[in-house]
Structures are given as structure tokens and as C-alpha cells.
Amino acid sequence: MTRPAKRPAKPKNRLDPPGMAQLPVVSAPGAAMPPRVPAQPTAPAYQHFDRAARGVMARLSGGVSSHAFIEAWSDWAQHMARSPGRQLELVEHAQQNALKLMAMMITPEAEAPFAPKAYDRRFNHPDWQKQPFRMWQQGFLAVQDWWDHATEPMRGLRPEDAERTRFLARQMLDLAAPSNFPMLNPEIIEATRNSGGRNLTDGLAHFTRDVTKTLTRQRDPAPKGYEIGKDLACTPGQVVFRNDLFELIQYSPQTEQVHARPILIVPAWIMKYYILDLSPHNSMVRYLVAEGFTVFMISWCNPTASQAELSLEDYRKRGVMAALDAVCAIMPDTPVHAVGYCLGGTILAITAASMARDGDARLGSVTLMAAQVDFIEAGELLMFLDESQIAFLEDLMWEQGYLDRPQMARAFAAIRSEDLIYTRNVQRYFLGRDDLPSDIGVWNADTTRMPARMHSEYLRALFLENRLTAGRFAVEGRVIALKDIDAPLFVVGTETDHIAPWRSVYKTQLFTDCDLTFVLTKGGHNGGILSEPGHKGRHYRISHRPAGALYLGPDAWLDQHDPKPGSWWPDWADWLRARGGEMVPAPAMGAPEKGYGPKITAPGSYVFQP
């Protein structure tokens, strides 16, 4: 029999379009057929030319494709054009807003008819309540209110197009907000008068320095008191395993007796791991170690162009599974408590499901923090994701081999541009104020990259096609199912999370049948997780679902569970303690006789990779 001809070798530092063939799909009975594998181009040289051109455009646009937004405007405009009733409604709404503004001019002492959104801090200065600033502020908020109403869903209009249109309208309005202009912002006028213009010269210096850093890709050193390994990520420990993908840190025990079952934490590789070992007072790692647990932490590498071909399967097999093998070798004959945060929680859920399918019972429990397994309600990030957008990102990654964090950060910042872009820019460039250093600010600036192949697979298989909960996500050629997980689950959502909305996180209950505890805590994606005991103003809700219980929707669940003051960490520690096994003498660091000897003190070397 004649052997098939070999495929031509790939050019170096080039990514073929990932298509569907990179993640094999096995359709379950009755499941929808997978999308067709895109045909291979007959003229790759022309395709490479096109990809290079689109990559240049992607760099100029920050990785945002204009196609989806143009399509959204067109869809919205066409539906608006054939909705005369909606047009009349909007005319009436504009008239009402105008009348409210006129009434405020006639009666200046009357209460302002429009209020900024809860997270909008641009108009906090008291002089915004004085004329003429009050009229400028209220006029802007009136127009914002009208556009919010105009971009509400219409019959026949695709919901995602309605959201994109609203997003675009908000971006245009935010750019033209009176708070952005020195002559219209009373806070800037006051600062300029009091400082004799020093705020503007300081702001110009800040602007020049920021532009220079952006163009040269330089980073500022950590501020005094925020040094990694000394002030941050400073819980004592040792790196006991290392491969090209991650370092495994084992933290030194702080008690003579520890729980028999260790904890393995899988952080997201979209961020440095030490968000969970930040300052001593809010370090989750330090808290767990003090509670008598043996804690292991994965510290992911910061991939370069040479690692462009790292896949999602690499992160599962050579990442999570390799770390689990090391932990089980160091502390044998006992199940492991696995903890996953954000994207690390998603890959942990995939790992747990594949282990359950294969009869691997080494997980004693699974904790998922702000982690999604279903991406239908993945929040405002979905506005940026469709076939056009993902192809655009793939072209951006094609030459450089990765997606740089600043390119992702712009998308996250745009979701809350009022606060994350414009308020900060006014403070920095017009008021001349430096950013106040903070531990989470230093961590947030410590950017990472995403390998091109992995990021493409992640966006397509999970965000775009939602394969994991649709029964079409395959590991090693066979489909996995979350309902196969029988280890107890502890799932944490945060109330104001715009990356992993809590209702999306809550849907873990819909796709699993095991014993499950769910917590909804105050705060956002990072702040809600960093909710250490003693943190002021914190509250949380908690519930327990026995294995096999009926499903309760998120809104009904919210109505039935009242908030409790304080931190959710002690409840979680009690939950782990109840499943932690007996108390045993604290283990040695690593297992040199098995090839897992201490190599370097924590936080290791990968955390310092630029």
C-alpha cells in the first residue's frame, strides 16, 4: 500500500490557521456536528502576505477588528430604520430629557435629573454641582441616558449587536465627556489655579514618559516596599520541580502538624501567580499554610516567540498533570485538594473531568475560583469575540508568536473606560498626580504573554464554540463530561466580576452532579478573591448542594440566600479541613530521592521573567 505524501514543513515562527483540526472533536450521540474544517489555501505565499498585512492593521488597532462593529452598527441601523414606533419613542425620550434640563435651568436648586453610574468617578468633585459645570455634566449624562435607551435590544436585532452598538456609543461619548477637557473640568481648573500650572507641566512629563515606555516596551522598577520576593510573593518555600512550562513551589510549613492532604493551586497563566501570594496580610497562600495545610503553587513561565506552539493540551498535560504527579510523589498515598483560579480553574475543570473519565482518583476535592466552564454568558468580553475578531488576533500573533498582555489589557480597560482609562488619564496628565503604589497595582503591571496556538485554541474551543459544556470537547481523542467529576466541588463567584460573571460561574451547578458548595462574595474578579479575614466591608453568600440534588437557577438562589458579613476564607478553610485527612507531622521539602529536590527558594525564577 502506498504511503500518503508527507506534509511540507512549516516555516519557522509561523502559525498555520488553527482551524478545527488542532482540537479533535468527537461528537456524542445527538450532538451537533462540528464546524467544517477550513480548506487549506492553494497559494500559501499569498495567504502569508494577507496575514502579514492584517497583522500590521491589528497592531495599529490594538488587536480589535472593525468588522464586527461595522456589522453591529449596520444591523442596529437597519432595524431602527424599519421601526417607526421605536423612532417616535426615541424622539419622545429626547424631548423628555431636554425638558428635564430646561427645568433644572429654571430652578437651579432642584435636584439633578441625571446621575452618573455607580462606578463612574469622573464627576465626584463638588464643583460639578456649580454652574456652568453642572449644566455641562447634566447635558452629557442626558445624552448618555438617551444612547443607553436607543441601544436597548429590539425585536429581530441580534443581542450581541445591541451590546456592541451600546459599547461603541459609550466609547464615543466617553471620549467627548466634559471631564476630559481642561477648560470644562472644574477640578483641573482649580488645580491649575492653585499650582500656577504646575499640574499641567507634571502631567506633560507623565505623558511623555508613558509614551516612551509604550514605544520602547520598558517597565518601571517596582516601587519601594513592593519588591517581588521580599514584600510581595514572600511566603517562604522552595521550587521542587521545573520544566519549560512552569515551576512548582512547595511552601514551608508553619505548624508542626499539618493536614495529610496537600493543596495544589493552579493560577491563570494570563497573570503572574502571586496575585494569590500578594502582601503578607492578604496572601491566600500564607493564610492556608498558617491553617496547617501543605500548599503547592504552579508558577507559569512567561512564554516567548519560541514557545508559540504551546497548546491548551500542553498546559493540561505538561502543566497541571505534571504538577499533580510531583505533588503525589512528594506526599504519596493521599488525595490532593486542587484549586484553580480564573483560566487556571477552567483547565483544572477540564483536567478533573478527564481524570474522572480515566478512573484517576487522585483529586480529593476541587475548588474553582472565578472560573468558567460554560461561556454562553461570559460577559462583556464576548463583545470582542467572533470569527472575524479571532482571525484578526491570530494574524496579530502570527509573526510575534504570542499575544502580549498590553494588547489584552486594552480590551479589559475598554469595558470600564470611564474609570480605567479616562479617570486615570485625567488624574495623571491634567492633574499631574502619580499613580499611588499598591500591591495589586504592581502585580497588574507585571504583564505576561499568551502563546499563540494555546490562545487561539482557547478562544475558539471554549469562548466561541463553548465545546466543554456542549459535549464536544475532546482530551486525547475522547470527549469529556463535567458530570463525571465526583470529587466535592467548592465554587466561588464574585458579585461585580466583568471577566467571569458570577451567573456564568454559577452554571457549574448545571453541568455537574457531585457534592457542591457555592459562594458568592462581594468584589470583582481579583478583589473578591482577595477577601482575607479582617477586610472591611466584605460579605458573602454560601450554599451547599448535595450530590444529585435538583438545579436551582441563579436568581432564585440569590433570593434564598442572605449575605453574611466577613470573609469567605474561613468557611473554605473549614470545608478543606473537613476533607483534609488526619493531622500528620509536617513533610520535608520536596523528595530528592524521587527527583523532586529543592532547586531554588520561592518565588523561583519564572516569576521574574519579563
Question: 531-573 pLDDT, tens per residue?
Answer: 999 999 999 999 999 999 999 999 999 999 999 999 999 999 9
Helix (DSSP H) and strand (DSSP E) numbers for the chain: 21, 17
Whether 126 is covered by a domain: the verdict is yes
Please indicate, yes or no, if residue 609 is contained in any of the structural domains.
yes
Question: Domain end: 155, 190, 225, which one?
Answer: 190
Answer yes or no: do 186 and 270 share one domain: no
Question: Both 179 and 247 in a single domain?
Answer: no
The DSSP call for residue 543 is E
User: Quick check: is 300 in a domain?
Assistant: yes
Per the model's pLDDT, the better-predicted residue between 133 and 211 turns out to be: 133
Task: Give the residue from 382, 403, 311, 396 showing the smallest Cα distance to 21.
Answer: 311
The answer to whether the beta carbons of residues 249 and 297 sit under 8 Å apart is yes
Least confident stretch, 13-22, 155-164, 222-231: 13-22
Q: In the structure grid, which three cell numbers stand for residue 303, read together? A: 512564554
Question: For position 336, what pLDDT does the model report?
Answer: 97
Task: Supply 416's cell numbers.
Answer: 470600564
Q: Which of the residues are catalytic?
A: 342
Residue 484 exposure: Cα atoms within 13 Å on the Cβ side: 19
Report the alpha-carbon distance of residue 459 to residue 469 in Å, rounded.
15
- Asked whether the predicted pLDDT for residue 13 surpasses 50, the reply is no
- The angle subtended at Cα 270 by Cα 369 and Cα 577, nearest 5°, is 25
- In whole angstroms, give the CA distance from residue 256 to residue 259: 10
Greater confidence (486 vs 381) lies with: 486
Peptide bond connecting 221 to the previous residue in cis, omega within 30 degrees of 0? no
- Whether 379 maps to a domain, the answer reads no
Q: Which three cell numbers stand for residue 173?
A: 461619548
CA distance 542 to 521: 9
Report whether pLDDT(17) > 60. no
Give the mean pLDDT of 597-604: 95
Q: Taking 60 as the threshold, does the pLDDT of residue 180 lie above it?
A: yes
Q: What does the pLDDT read at residue 366?
A: 98
Residue 77 has pLDDT above 50, yes or no: yes
Same domain, 147 and 85: yes
Are 74 and 175 in a shared domain? Answer: yes
Average pLDDT over residues 117-141: 91
SS3 340: strand
Quote the CA–CA distance of 176 and 170 in Å, as a whole number. 10
Does a structural domain hold residue 431? no
Mean pLDDT of 434-448: 87
Quick check: is 142 in a domain? yes
Residues 263 and 177 in one domain: no
The CA distances from residue 442 to 228, 232, 281, in Å, are: 9, 9, 16
Question: Does residue 221 form part of some domain?
Answer: no
Q: Give mean pLDDT, residues 227-255.
A: 96
Of 159, 190, 221, the one marking the end of a domain is: 190
> In DSSP terms, which residues pair with 136 in a beta bridge?
none
Tell me: do 250 and 322 sit in the same domain: yes
| Residue 105: half-sphere exposure toward Cβ, Cα within 13 Å | 12
245 and 269 Cβ atoms separated by less than 8 Å: no
Closest to 419 (Cα-Cα) out of 316, 322, 498, 352: 498
Per-residue pLDDT at 481 exceeds 70 = yes
The answer to whether 493 and 506 have CB atoms below 8 angstroms apart is yes
* Better-predicted residue by pLDDT, 270 or 18: 270
pTM of the full structure:
0.85
Helical H segments across 217-342, by residue range: 284-290, 312-314, 322-330
Least confident of 50-54, 172-176, 519-523: 50-54
On whether residue 249 sits in a domain, the answer given is: yes
Q: How many domains does the chain have?
A: 2
The answer on 257 and 168 residing in a single domain is no
pLDDT at residue 36 in the model: 42
Q: What is the pLDDT of residue 158?
A: 87
Which of 158, 173, 190 marks a domain boundary?
190
Task: Quote the CA–CA distance of 446 and 429 in Å, as a whole number.
Answer: 22
| Contact (Cβ atoms closer than 8 angstroms) between residue 243 and residue 595 | no
Q: Are residues 71 and 186 in the same domain?
A: yes
Q: Quick one: pLDDT band at residue 485, thresholds 50, 70, 90?
A: very high
Based on the fold, state whether residues 180 and 262 are members of the same structural domain.
no
pLDDT at 139: 95
| Domain limits for position 608 | 236-334+581-610
